[in-house]
Amino acid sequence: MLTGESVYTLLKAAEKFLNSKGLTDSKADSEVLLSFVLRTKRSKLHLIRDQKPTDKQVSQYKEYILRRSQREPAAYITGFAGFMDFEFKINRSVLIPRPETELLVEVALSVAKKENKKSALDLCTGSGCIAISLSKLGTFDNVAALDISKNALNIAKENAEINNATDIDFIESDIFDSIGDRKFDIIVSNPPYISETEYSTLEPELGYEPKIALTAKDGGLFFYNEVGSKVLDYLNNDGVVLIELNANKLDEIRQIFLDDNYKEIEIINDYANLPRILKAKIFK
């Protein structure tokens, strides 16, 4: 499958092979996987372009490239993903952290600083990337992370240890069922929001990710309805909700929050100018 005597020629062969399989980001995938095999930073590959990998390294790289050609995401192959300049351990129990979701963290940090918010809850925490980033980069006195999946919470706890974020309260709960009477200044979430119809049209890579973390009932609106109707009981006065959007259902989601008597509803676009986050405050 792959031939090449050096790092450079091996990379080029891998890129060509992945291109032949229809992958659109073959250069990045080739570099990510080889840097993982060689235990070096991707940015350093050009410095060792003439180096000859060992037979064992070449064999491992070939295996990884073959798996990627079968549309397994590179992050699941390596078992790690970057987010907000931190590294997170992942497996198929959790979603791969997306660069777009970093905006949710950035907005939460900005709101917390501007409005002196001291407590935050991350709903559907998955790998823990949002909660851990908030804990590391913010000035919160209290950060909690909630998920219905015990396997996901185990990964999130490992990531908290890896990133030395030891002050997060991890809670196994179906949305708010196990929160009790706790209240927070900010509640953030990147929830499941894909409908079954949408799911059937997604790229093959998403078939490797946990479906429970991707899809939602009621045409993808279930979680928005649950949050809209229940989150009032778990926010402090002047509390803020920040929730990632299904851009295809922007109007329906906004109407849910309007119907539930929120105020200052704001839609925040991402860097591609697509609606990415709904920010809302409550009437109390």
User: Tens digit of pLDDT for each residue in 213-234?
Assistant: 999 999 999 999 999 889 889 9
Is the model's pLDDT at 193 over the cut of 90? yes
Is the model's pLDDT at 69 over the cut of 80? yes
pLDDT-derived band at 283 (thresholds 50, 70, 90) equals low
What is the average per-residue pLDDT within 255-278?
89
CB 129 within 8 A of CB 83: yes
Q: What is the CB neighbour count within 10 angstroms for residue 192?
A: 20
Predicted pLDDT at 97 = 96
Is the model's pLDDT at 2 over the cut of 90? no
Mean per-residue pLDDT over the chain, rounded: 93
pLDDT-derived band at 237 (thresholds 50, 70, 90) equals confident
Predicted pLDDT at 281 = 86
What is the average per-residue pLDDT within 185-190?
96
> What's the pTM value of the predicted model, to 2 decimals?
0.92
Predicted pLDDT at 118 = 96
What is the average per-residue pLDDT within 243-247?
94
Report d(CA 249, CA 221) in Å as an integer. Answer: 8
Question: 21 is written with which tokens?
Answer: 């399989």
Is the model's pLDDT at 282 over the cut of 80? no
Could you say which DSSP state residue 54 is in? Answer: -
Predicted pLDDT at 79 = 97
**Could you tell me which of 242, 189, 188, 252 has the C-alpha nearest to residue 220?**
252
Could you say which DSSP state residue 200 is in? Answer: T
CB 66 within 8 A of CB 2: no
DSSP letters spanning 223-239 = HHHHHHHHGGGGEEEEE
Q: What percent of the chain has pLDDT over 70?
A: 98
Could you give the 3-state DSSP secondary structure of residue 21? coil
Cβ-based neighbours of 242, under 8 Å, separated by 6 or more: 104, 107, 108, 111, 186, 187, 188, 189, 277, 278, 279
Among 4-8, 151-155, 165-169, 189-193, name the one with the lowest average pLDDT: 4-8
Report d(CA 140, CA 175) in Å as an integer. Answer: 22
Report the CATH fold assignment for 94-282.
Rossmann fold (3.40.50)
pLDDT-derived band at 259 (thresholds 50, 70, 90) equals confident
pLDDT-derived band at 3 (thresholds 50, 70, 90) equals low
What is the average per-residue pLDDT within 71-88?
96
Amino acid at position 148, single letter: I
Among 55-69, 85-99, 171-185, 260-274, name the one with the lowest average pLDDT: 260-274
Is the model's pLDDT at 66 over the cut of 70? yes
What is the average per-residue pLDDT within 117-140?
97
Distances, alpha carbon 19 to alpha carbons 15, 49, 112, 280, in Å = 6, 21, 44, 43
